Amino acid sequence: MTILLNPKQHDRYYPDDRSREIMLKTIEFFEDKGKAKIKEDDHKKVWYADFLEFQKENNIFAELLTPTPYGEDENYRWDTWRICEFNEILGFYGLGYWYTWQVSILGLGPIWMSKNEVAKKKAAQLLKEGAIFAFGLSERAHGADIYATEMSLTLQEDETYKANGEKYYIGNGNEAEMVSIFGKLADMEGNIPPYDMKNKDQYVFFIANYKHKNYELIKNVCDSQNYVANFALHDYPITHDDILSMGEDAWNASLNTVNVGKYNLGWASIGICTHAFYEAIHHAAHRRLYNMYVTDFQHVKQNFVDAYTRLTAMKLFGLRTADYMRVASKKDRRYLLYAPVMKMKTTTQGEEVINLLWDVIAAKGFEKDMYFESAARDIRALPKLEGTVHVNIALILKFMLSFFMNHKNYEEVPRQDQISNDDFLFDQGPARGLGGVRLHNWKHAFEKYDLPNVKIFLEEIELFNLLGTTATPSLEQQNDMDFMISGIGEIFALIVYAHLIIENAPIYNIDDDTLDQIFDFLIRDFSKYALNLYHKPGTTPKQMELCLKMIKKPNVDEERFKRVWSIVHNLKDAYEMNP
């Protein structure tokens, strides 16, 4: 059994017919368009107006991105179960189609999180009309350092405002009917408050429209189908109806929007890798070299098994993270750990999958008619968006003590595929206190399995814990970002990743062979990160000793490998996109 998306045998469970209809219609749109036309549009950098017209005609963004209170019926809901699959399907056919959807999600975040009913009703109406949205956070000089934003609102004598400043790297900035823009409140003379990490009273979120004469669309900063805008506002008039939030509410909206939105990047990676996997194994299984099929070579089998198990693990983690997003509440914020792991881990694993496949198909991966050519380029982008890998590991480290200690007993979370609106995602409150989030005991999921590689991985976790208790990083080491992020942080993120994978395996009936083969690569990755920590300049002799003990070899089971390879090889003709 495989959990990979196959658009031509799409049998995922849905609790309602409309959700299934949306996904099948979207698949039909891309299959009818065909790979040749998708590739041509990609190479010619054609704005995807046909896709946006399709979603408008079928009311897709409106139903998937409008919370129930602002929609017409239960088909209008913010339902992470549906959203994650729509992400995957769009990634499967092309990152550009996913991107315009993703930045619309980000642009809608501060709107749905606000108390501005006028803006919310306007957004709901625009969605019905097929509009797209944008998230105006980043700036050229400061990136996503929101403390240093130079976009400003200056209060006028008539109690309105004038907005001035530039934003940079803003997807959909060329056609977004509502651009949610983050800035600061200036004084009466228009002076921007100084850089102050403690003062959150000065921040503001407001709305602008790309058609306004005071909105200057400067350029597309990327050479792609996507329009990633640099735009400027020049005395752009802002009324109270355009203000989404101020002070700490605006600050919280910026962080909470990213917390919700960055999860989607992992699904784009999953979609890209799945299509690339089908294309690669179909090519390799039908190509003969030296009087053998390419897939008869042992090193090729190893690459495909690694690619398949890594991809299966990515999807298991992503689906389980969606469950925790859907049950989130003020008393259960565990998703705030899993979302950044989803962002940094599945996107970097996506790069690994593409590398493994590319080593097999070699020069074929450069051919312009292959989906793979686009996949190899686009997979690199996802770890670098919505916070770099290092930024997300820094967030993940805030949860480390809570993960290993002071566990809380929660009710077990089943698969969250029910029809419901995910209310809490837009009513999260303060974006702080991550270190105080209580987590459940990670050991319980591992105790359900008596598999060789699961046991070896547990030994590695125990040694990592021993390092934390008997060779605790010093204050100097804790302040060394290289030691903590690319050393300790990579190992901890891998442990969290493995936890949700094994927790989700029985929910999706993953067979023991596949699961133990997943832990084969997890052990190898753990060993690699342990060796990296060993080599850090500041690692102590005691820490080095424990790092060497963490380096372990997975259990070798040729029969298990053959059984998993049989699953993988049987996918050689499972999917080909319509030409």
3-state secondary structure of 332: strand
442 token code pair: 């990670």
- C-alpha angle with apex 476: 473 to 479, nearest 5 degrees? 95
CATH architecture of 7-131: Orthogonal Bundle (1.10)
CATH superfamily of the domain spanning 262-407+435-569 = Butyryl-CoA Dehydrogenase, subunit A, domain 3 (1.20.140.10)
Cα(209)–Cα(486) distance, rounded to whole angstroms? 41
pLDDT at residue 17 in the model: 96
C-alpha closest to that of 338 among 327, 353, 352, 322: 322
Cβ atoms of residues 386 and 258 within 8 Å: yes
Strands 152-155 and 178-185: parallel
Cβ atoms of residues 557 and 271 within 8 Å: no
Tell me whether residue 57 is exposed, middle or buried, using C-beta atoms within 10 angstroms of its C-beta: 0 to 12, 13 to 18, 19 or more: exposed
pLDDT at residue 150 in the model: 93
426 token code pair: 């837009």
Cα(112)–Cα(119) distance, rounded to whole angstroms? 9
Q: What are phi and psi of 255, to 5 degrees?
A: -75, -40
Question: Helices (H), strands (E): how many in the chain?
Answer: 23, 10
pLDDT tens sequence across 122-166 = 999 999 999 999 999 999 998 888 888 999 999 999 999 999 999
332 token code pair: 């259960």
Cβ atoms of residues 267 and 91 within 8 Å: yes
Cα(137)–Cα(50) distance, rounded to whole angstroms? 28
Cβ atoms of residues 309 and 516 within 8 Å: no
Give yes or no for residue 195 having a pLDDT over 80.
no
Cα(339)–Cα(323) distance, rounded to whole angstroms? 11
- C-alpha angle with apex 453: 527 to 445, nearest 5 degrees? 105
Element (H, E) at 325: helix 298-326
Residues 6 or more apart whose Cβ sits within 8 Å of residue 498: 457, 519, 522
pLDDT at residue 563 in the model: 98
**Averaged pLDDT, 326-351:** 96
Cα(440)–Cα(409) distance, rounded to whole angstroms? 6
Cα(125)–Cα(74) distance, rounded to whole angstroms? 16
Candidate from 314-323, 389-398, 560-569 with smallest mean pLDDT: 389-398
Per the prediction, the chain carries an average pLDDT of 96
Phi-psi region of 539 (alpha: psi -120 to 50; beta: other; left: phi over 0): beta
Element (H, E) at 220: strand 215-220
Cα(290)–Cα(89) distance, rounded to whole angstroms? 37
pLDDT at residue 50 in the model: 98
186 token code pair: 């200036």
| Residue bearing tokens 């480290």 | 397
Cβ atoms of residues 165 and 206 within 8 Å: no
Q: Is residue 223 very low, low, confident or very high in pLDDT (cuts 50, 70, 90)?
A: very high
What is the C-alpha R_g of the chain? 24
pLDDT at residue 559 in the model: 98
Element (H, E) at 522: helix 512-534
Strands 288-289 and 292-293: antiparallel
CATH superfamily of the domain spanning 134-247 = Butyryl-CoA Dehydrogenase, subunit A, domain 2 (2.40.110.10)
Look up the pTM and report it.
Answer: 0.97
Give yes or no for residue 387 having a pLDDT over 80.
no
Domain parsing of the chain, residue ranges: 7-131, 134-247, 262-407+435-569
Q: Is residue 389 very low, low, confident or very high in pLDDT (cuts 50, 70, 90)?
A: confident
pLDDT at residue 194 in the model: 80
Cβ atoms of residues 416 and 81 within 8 Å: yes
User: Hey, how many other C-beta atoms are within 10 angstroms of the C-beta on 437?
Assistant: 17
pLDDT at residue 32 in the model: 98
Give yes or no for residue 426 having a pLDDT over 90.
yes
pLDDT at residue 3 in the model: 96
**Averaged pLDDT, 475-479:** 95
C-alpha closest to that of 96 among 206, 9, 171: 171
Q: Is residue 386 very low, low, confident or very high in pLDDT (cuts 50, 70, 90)?
A: confident
pLDDT tens sequence across 431-447 = 888 888 999 999 999 99
**Averaged pLDDT, 376-402:** 90
